[in-house]
Structure 1
Amino acid sequence: RFKNILKPIANACIREEQKEYVDFEPYYTHIVCHECCHGIGPHSITLPGGKKSTVRMELQECHSALEEAKADIVGLWALNFLINKGLLPKSLSKSMYVSFLAGCFRSIRFGLEEAHGKGQALQFNWLYDKGAFILHSDGKFSIDFTKVEEAVESLGREIMTIQAKGDKPAAQSLLQSRATLTQPLRVALEKIEHMQVPVDIAPIFGTASKLLANN
């Protein structure tokens, strides 16, 4: 995915001076943090009237997209936290954001009807509106490193507050306002559309296939 999808997307959509930051290590480490961060934040909640419930039950059809966005954005926050604690190298401090930006365009291609695509559109538009993502006149994007950290933290806070309250109207409002195909996203997707870049890759597990064939 990194070599055949993310790198070509980055070459088409990321400004020349930041392309060097698109790297496999932050890309892969963020995937790990994403999966870990599904376990962070509220799951079982108590509603204002004292009723016990779950985030999934209260947010219903909004849950999946919001949960994928939470895992992504909190995973990005977690990377920064680990860097600040000296547990990850400082060399990731810029590359993780630029690699994430390129990854936004990859995931949005799954479509806004799919949880990952919708959640990614929410994240992109939030960070763009906060000035963390910049669209330049040449149709390419860059990160404003002075704004991205706060923008990431603010979205993580917003999503987890909605989850903690089981606030479906707030979840609907957030998704309706941000999980949309905005003009900056259209610019990027139109660039990618003219390239022969797959939407995703189906892995072939050779060893597993042989083992299954022998049973």
Structure 2
Amino acid sequence: MKFYNITLVFLFFLEFVFSPGVSMADNETIILRFAHGGSETHPYQIGAKKFAEMAGKDVVDTGFIKQLRFKAKSFRSGDAYPYKAGDAAWLKAGGPLKLCIGPYEVENDRQYETKTFFQYMLAMEDEEKTKKVRDLVSYKNALERKVAELIGSDLYTARDLTKNETPTPFVRVIKAAGEMHSSRPVPIAHNLPNLYRNEIGFLVETFSNHYEAKKSILEDIASIVIAPDQQQFVDYGSFIDNGHYHEFTHATGPQGDYLAKTSDGSKVTVSAAIGEGGSALEEGKADTGDALFSAMVYGAESQKFKQDAVTAIASLFRSSRFGVDSHGIGGMFRLAYFVEKGAIVREGGRFRTVFDKVEGVSGNLMREIGRIQASGNKAAAEKFIGTYMPKGEAILKEVVGKINAAGVPIDVDIHYEITL
């Protein structure tokens, strides 16, 4: 999709983005620049006005109908945040059917990491698995306080995350389209919406059939890269739980539309201040939260913590193979940081987790990332990623040949049985 007029140059882009009246809502527009020098934005929803309302006439789930009608209204709306009401209805909708539709993620805007891509997902909730996740949600405020403590009160103060609901449905994806289907890696969960979450809350959806498809990849990689005596700790349940920790961590700390405390006092969001590389930094932060969350819930001496920690390292090698994707970059710099700080040690081409260092090293990494985000320090972000990503790439190259030689795929290719 073309977001930027071909004649758009970087200086014009900066002038436009930081001009009065341009807000985070403009993530959801196409910028047009005219020959006479003027410019304007066209909202995404201009081209989609009636289909959600039509669909609302054919379903019997009242919560689902309400969501569809709010979405239809948002597509016709001229409001500054046209998707807000629809997203609020999505968070509150009951019933087994789950619909995600709207522009959310910026990773595929390779030019400036500013424009969101439109995505669509229809899913069915697995109620039994959802019940098992709900208990973890009660720890989200404790995690927020921990992250704030690590960052420091000079840059960030913990927010109360209990004021908004955090639905955590476990779902089986029926159909996906747009960014949701075309993105690589194939997502295993999402934490949305990214905007106005402080006002309406957020939703964490876990895609059980996507996890199931990736299980064998994790196991095959673990058999190649994990120290033999620690392979007993590789656990499918921890693979899923680490995904939950990752998504819960996304909701903590300064990110997205949080106003950074910049050195010059300017009022600018974290996303706008850091720009390119910001998504990778956020993904690395979310990965880092797994050890902190597990230690908080189960204790750093527990069997569960060991399972979570070793499985996370195996999964880190899995995600690091995604390359220049923000998830891959985040995995690479976390891998390099853990090796440098001694939380992971190399033994004859395999890797051993040093359990008594994992929590402390994770806390230090969270502090470094969080302070960069809270201050909106673009130069520090570039330096951090520029320091650790190449080291992570070098470590990865040592084992990727063995993984590839074993025929382990980088990711799965999802095909849905239903055609809409």
Q: Distance in 2 between matches of 1:173 and 1:152?
A: 19
Is the radius of gyration larger for structure 1 or structure 2? 2
Higher mean alpha-carbon deviation, 191-200 vs 75-84, is at 75-84
Q: 2:232 aligns with which of 20, 25, 33?
A: 20
For 2:295, give the aligned amino acid: N
Alignment of 1:94-113 (within 5 A): 94-111=306-323, 113=324
TM-score by length of 2: 0.47
Q: Does 1:53 align with 2:268?
A: yes
1:32-52 superposed Cα distances (whole Å, 9 cap, x missing partner):
111121111113123233322
Counterpart contact for 2:319–2:327, Cα < 8 Å:
yes
Match of 2:81 in 1: none
Counterpart contact for 1:41–1:160, Cα < 8 Å:
yes
Match of 2:334 in 1: 123
Higher mean alpha-carbon deviation, 127-136 vs 194-203, is at 194-203
Cα RMSD (Å)? 1.8
Alignment of 1:1-215 (within 5 A): 1-43=213-255, 44=258, 45-84=260-299, 90-111=302-323, 113-136=324-347, 138-180=348-390, 181-206=392-417, 209=418, 212=420
TM-score by length of 1: 0.89
Task: Kindly report structure 1 stretches of 4+ aligned residues shifted beyond 6 Å.
Answer: none
SS at match of 2:372: helix
1:68-119 superposed Cα distances (whole Å, 9 cap, x missing partner):
101110233112212239xxx93311011111111111111111x2111111
SS at match of 1:147: helix
For 2:353, give the aligned amino acid: I
For 2:305, give the aligned amino acid: S
SS at match of 1:141: strand
Q: Distance in 2 between matches of 1:114 and 1:22?
A: 25
Aligned residues: 204
Q: Which structure ranks higher in relative contact order (CA pairs < 8 Å, sequence separation ≥ 6)? A: 1
SS at match of 1:61: coil
Q: Distance in 1 between matches of 2:337 and 2:387?
A: 10
SS at match of 2:285: helix
Counterpart contact for 1:2–1:24, Cα < 8 Å:
no
Q: Structure 1 regions of 5+ residues with no counterpart?
A: none
1:172-191 superposed Cα distances (whole Å, 9 cap, x missing partner):
11101101244432222121
1:168-212 superposed Cα distances (whole Å, 9 cap, x missing partner):
111111101101244432222121011111111123333xx15x3
Name the one with the larger helix percent.
1
Match of 2:88 in 1: none
State the identity %. Answer: 32
